[in-house]
Amino acid sequence: MGRMNGIIVIREIVARGSTARLVVVTNCDDVHFREAAVSAGAFAFVSKENLHELIALI
């Protein structure tokens, strides 16, 4: 990804018209990061500490 972070990548994917449901899986459970991801177009945000939540998403 070079200098891109996950939020930028989400924005790029959404801007290109993708209908993919983007799920962020991360160690960072910061509320601001969560809000930024959802605002950028993420379908869901899952902490790596709660991977069982992925089952409900797929």
Task: Evaluate if residue 53 carries a pLDDT over 80.
Answer: yes
**Dihedral over Cα of 56, 39, 14, 11: its sign:** negative
- What pLDDT score does 36 carry? 95
Q: Measured between alpha carbons, how far is 41 from 26 in angstroms, rounded to an integer?
A: 16
Task: Evaluate if residue 51 carries a pLDDT over 80.
Answer: yes
Q: Examine residue 18 and state whether it is found in any structural domain, yes or no.
A: yes
Q: Examine residue 35 and state whether it is found in any structural domain, yes or no.
A: yes
Domain count, the chain: 1
Q: Summarize pLDDT for 6-50 with one digit per residue, the tens.
A: 999 999 999 999 999 999 999 988 899 999 999 999 999 999 999
Q: Examine residue 1 and state whether it is found in any structural domain, yes or no.
A: no
Q: Examine residue 17 and state whether it is found in any structural domain, yes or no.
A: yes
Structural domain span for residue 10: 6-57
Q: Examine residue 34 and state whether it is found in any structural domain, yes or no.
A: yes
